[in-house]
Amino acid sequence: MRVPWEAVGRRARQTARLLCSFLVLGLAVPPGSAPALEATRLAIGTAKDPNLGTELVIARDKGFFKAMGLDVEIKYFPSGGDLTAAMVGGSLDIGSSGSTPTTTLRAVPFPIKIVAQMSDISGAQQIIVKPEIRRPEDLYGKRIAMLKGTSSEFMVDLLAKTYRVDLSRLELVAMGPTEMLSSFIRGDVQAVSLWEPHSTRARKGGNGKILFSGTTSYVPGHEGPQRIYGDHSTLFAPEEFIRKNPTTLRAVLEALARSVEYIEKDPEGANAILSREFGMPPEDMRDIMKVNRYQMIIDQIMVDDLNRIAEFLFNAGKIKNKVSVREWLDVAPLRDVRPDWVKVK
216 & 268 share domain = no
Residue 198 lies in a domain: yes
pLDDT one-digit tens code per residue, 169-217: 999 999 999 999 999 999 999 999 999 999 999 999 999 999 999 999 9
236 & 337 share domain = yes
Residue 21 lies in a domain: no
What whole-number distance in Å separates Cα of residue 339 and Cα of residue 319? 33
pLDDT one-digit tens code per residue, 290-311: 999 999 999 999 999 999 999 9
Q: Of 345, 338, 321, nearest to 105 (Cα)?
A: 321
Of the residues 194, 225, 256, the one at which a domain ends: 225
117 & 235 share domain = yes
Of the residues 203, 225, 247, the one at which a domain ends: 225
Residue 27 lies in a domain: no
pLDDT one-digit tens code per residue, 307-341: 999 999 999 999 999 899 999 999 999 999 999 99
What whole-number distance in Å separates Cα of residue 197 and Cα of residue 204? 11
277 & 261 share domain = yes
What whole-number distance in Å separates Cα of residue 251 and Cα of residue 257? 10
Residue 150's domain comprises 124-225
Number of domains into which the chain is organized = 2
Kindly report the CATH number assigned to the domain that includes residue 210. Answer: 3.40.190.10
- Local confidence band at 13 (pLDDT 50, 70, 90 cut-offs): very low
Of the residues 192, 225, 258, the one at which a domain ends: 225
**What was the pLDDT predicted at 149?**
87
110 & 239 share domain = yes
Q: Of 5, 10, 67, 3, nearest to 37 (Cα)?
A: 67
pLDDT one-digit tens code per residue, 140-164: 999 999 999 899 999 999 999 999 9
Residue 24 lies in a domain: no
State what percent of residues in the chain have pLDDT above 90.
88
Q: Beta-carbon neighbour count of residue 304 at 10 Å?
A: 12
